[in-house]
Structure 1
Amino acid sequence: MSGLRRLAAGGCLGCFAAALAVAVAGLVHRPVALPVTVAAIAITVMAAWAALVGRGPRRVAAGLVAVVALIGLILFAEVAGLVRVLLIVGLVAASAALARVAFGRHRPAGTRVGPARRGVLLVNPRSGGGAAGRHDLADEAARRGVGVVMLTAGADLRSLCEAAADRGADVVGMAGGDGSQAVVADVARRRGLAYVCVPAGTRNHFALDLGLDRRDVAGALDAFGEAVERRVDLGQVGDRVFVNNVSLGVYAEIVQSDDYREAKISTAADLLPDLLGPGHEPPDLRFPTPAHGGGAAGVGAGTADVLLVSNNPYQVRSLGGFGVRPRLDGGRLGIVALRIDRAQDLPRLVALEAMGAIDRFPGFQQWNSPGLRVDSGGPLSVAIDGEALRLPPPLEFHALPAAVRVRVPLHAPGGLVTRPGILGMVPALLRMLAGRTVGCGGDARAPFP
């Protein structure tokens, strides 16, 4: 935890406390005005925090709440006194600004390295709806002195990457989706090469957690020049490597649909009622879980409708977007299991999903471990970094710590710090002030082999 981040967290909480103290000092003899003002300050500050550090619709909603509460404070000036209200508003604004600094992007430690001697970029021209062509990646790579290997229909990516290594490449990069990134990262791991991720896929989750600017696709090529290099983990299931996650259960069944890639949301909406509705049997997934009630081995037996095994833990707020990973070098798998008791639990699940609070669902469980074994009575539907497969049980998952050397450009903005919800802001800032990592996901450590 950087000193600046801790200082910002302390200042953020300090300004919040000062605003409350000013209100209490001025309105201590007004039993009606005091609680109203304190409540308005608390709502304004926490909503402003969430608006400044959040993303998407929740950011807009939090911003509206903050504005309405702030207007109420200003209109209350006649009772509290104009000078006092202006001071409170200033402290609220300072607290919100410091929250943005505290929850800003972070740059993981790395080593500055010189340009690649013989860099090679593999390009999937079909990924991301043709992102490589839109960003002229072949020309941009050539301009930087990087060799380009363009994938054609039916080409084997692993063989092409191995061939580039055989020809003397010292740095290999991939312009494509996360499934392709995993293949090239695995070759780099096995051959001792450095690896460059170019976010030319659809979602580019791995690039986000590496700290890349996903909008600056061509800019990622600068990692072949002077760059920052660090080691990150990979995940492995059987003989396949993944950079993000492997999903089993309901989500994996949805991914198996032929319509999923063209219409993800509508396909999920059409299939979920059948997969989770009354009378549908849960997926046959058997795996060990951390035992909360003790036990000789300290491990219980689990099953789930949704099981996610990830390369390092995610901050999980909703099933629609698993969030970000605070780090990629923790050396452990993140595991999320969700058990839904069919029709009785669906309304509550939907409500918590809409609030971004899926972790409060009774059937939600999250922990981390160096490995996991998943068994079943038949072949398992899985989605490995979004790729639909059916694999025979049992599935053996392992973390591969510090597996590959990744290069990122010097100008990369850095990774996102996980953003808690409004109610989690104060605890998160207190943890940050204490120098603890924020939002790393479940920290239960089960004694898995």
Structure 2
Amino acid sequence: MRVAVVLNTSAGSLLGVDDAEAAIAEAFAVRGFDATFEPDDGRELNDRMDAAVAHGADAVVVGGGDGTIACAVQRLAGTGVALAVLPLGTANLFARDLGMPLDDIGAAVEAIAGGNARDIDVGEVNGHVFVCNSVLGLASRLAKRRERFRGSFRVRDWWAFLVSAWRGLVRYPAMRLELEANGRKRVLRTRALTVVDGDYEEGFGRMFSRSALDDGRLVLYVAASLTPWRAVVLGVRMAFGRWRDAADLERFEADAFTIRSRRKSVRVMNDGEILLLAPPLAYRIRRGALRVIVPPRLEAPGDATTAPASGDAALPAATGRAPANAGLAA
């Protein structure tokens, strides 16, 4: 199998690691891969992705966190070129959804070697693609502050971030937005809004795990009020797998919708990457737009059952899925 490999050597798992590329190259070589590496030589990640695609390999292997994967998805969606993920970040949300091994590079390479190609959905807003979620409001502001301390292990830096996050929870004003979907309009006042490509599933320990990657829908969550206390409660409820019925949390489903704002630009966080976009924000689902390599068998997080990785049964079905909120259609 011929693959082109792009590594983000600044990814969380590689920080402070010497000769990471050589070790990963060896892991590919011993498994019979013909791997061409695009060196992390100061070029922009987009340029390295373009060079990787130009090799004409069977797949492009991208090693990094969700932000790195977001760049790859933007480049590969709609091309038919397969994306294989080496989970080297901190959260690795997309890698978890794919069922990739997280703690062993050799096991991840083995999963790619024995994996299957599968077409999944991506979301899009104003031409910018996302594969996990797109976030407006408080969370995107906190992510911007987090970037100041990326890669730092000093206690004082973590403390500064926590203080900054707390101040954001207290002071961040509510946004006034207009949501239009299915020919209906509704005015929202919210401090946090999340659009999910697919939907999150409930269940103990399944925070931000998605129930399906190819069901052709976007799910919108709106937090009308997000005080520090309610943010803590919501986080605890998500960890325990019972959060959809939380107070002041609304849910809508659609395959396309528009968000309007009076602001000249809106900060949007797609899969952890910050963008400034001019409203209106036009969201849509692109069905089957991204080809990915998935392990030969996928296992639902926290569940001992497995399902084949081809066809509609390749990912675990949703558990505890709530009906679409009726407020938008009223």
Q: TM-score, normalised by structure 1?
A: 0.59
Classify 1:239/1:146 alpha carbon distance in 2 versus 1 (closer, same or farther; 3 Å).
farther
Return the match for 1:235 from 123, 126, 140. Answer: 123
Residue of structure 2 in register with 1:302 after alignment: 188
Of residues 250-259 and 202-211 in structure 1, the stretch that sits farther from structure 2 once superposed is 250-259
Number of aligned residue pairs: 304
Aligned equivalents of 1:124 and 1:195: distance in 2? Answer: 15
Residue of structure 2 in register with 1:140 after alignment: 27
Which of the pair has more CA radius of gyration?
1
Aligned equivalents of 1:341 and 1:327: distance in 2? Answer: 27
Residue of structure 1 in register with 2:306 after alignment: none
Deviations 1:319-363 (A, max 9, x none): x98421011111111211111175xxx545534543445434321
Return the match for 1:165 from 50, 53, 68. Answer: 53
Classify 1:282/1:135 alpha carbon distance in 2 versus 1 (closer, same or farther; 3 Å).
farther
Residue of structure 2 in register with 1:256 after alignment: 144
Residue of structure 2 in register with 1:312 after alignment: 198
Q: TM-score, normalised by structure 2?
A: 0.78
Partner letter of residue 163 of structure 2? D
Classify 1:243/1:348 alpha carbon distance in 2 versus 1 (closer, same or farther; 3 Å).
closer
Aligned equivalents of 2:51 and 2:111: distance in 1? Answer: 21
Query: Are the aligned partners of 1:173 and 1:184 in contact in 2 as well (CA < 8 Å)?
Result: no
SS of equivalent residue, structure 2 residue 148: coil
Residue of structure 2 in register with 1:396 after alignment: 282
Instruction: Give 5+ residue unaligned stretches, structure 2.
Output: 304-316
Deviations 1:249-303 (A, max 9, x none): 11111111143534897566423443343xx46243413278xxxxx95542223
Partner letter of residue 270 of structure 1? V
Query: Are the aligned partners of 1:315 and 1:441 in contact in 2 as well (CA < 8 Å)?
Result: no
Aligned equivalents of 2:118 and 2:265: distance in 1? Answer: 37
SS of equivalent residue, structure 2 residue 244: helix
Classify 1:281/1:156 alpha carbon distance in 2 versus 1 (closer, same or farther; 3 Å).
closer
Query: Are the aligned partners of 2:119 and 2:290 in contact in 1 as well (CA < 8 Å)?
Result: yes
- Sequence identity, in percent? 24
Query: Are the aligned partners of 1:374 and 1:395 in contact in 2 as well (CA < 8 Å)?
Result: yes
Query: Are the aligned partners of 1:249 and 1:381 in contact in 2 as well (CA < 8 Å)?
Result: yes
1:407 correspondence with 2:293: yes
Aligned equivalents of 2:3 and 2:294: distance in 1? Answer: 14
Deviation at 1:372, TM superposition (A): 2.9
Query: Are the aligned partners of 1:254 and 1:267 in contact in 2 as well (CA < 8 Å)?
Result: no
SS of equivalent residue, structure 2 residue 78: helix
Query: Are the aligned partners of 1:135 and 1:218 in contact in 2 as well (CA < 8 Å)?
Result: no
Query: Are the aligned partners of 1:179 and 1:385 in contact in 2 as well (CA < 8 Å)?
Result: yes
Structure with the larger helix share: 1
SS of equivalent residue, structure 1 residue 438: coil
Classify 1:208/1:387 alpha carbon distance in 2 versus 1 (closer, same or farther; 3 Å).
same
Query: Are the aligned partners of 1:336 and 1:365 in contact in 2 as well (CA < 8 Å)?
Result: yes
Deviation at 1:151, TM superposition (A): 4.1
Aligned equivalents of 2:12 and 2:139: distance in 1? Answer: 21
Structure with the larger strand share: 2
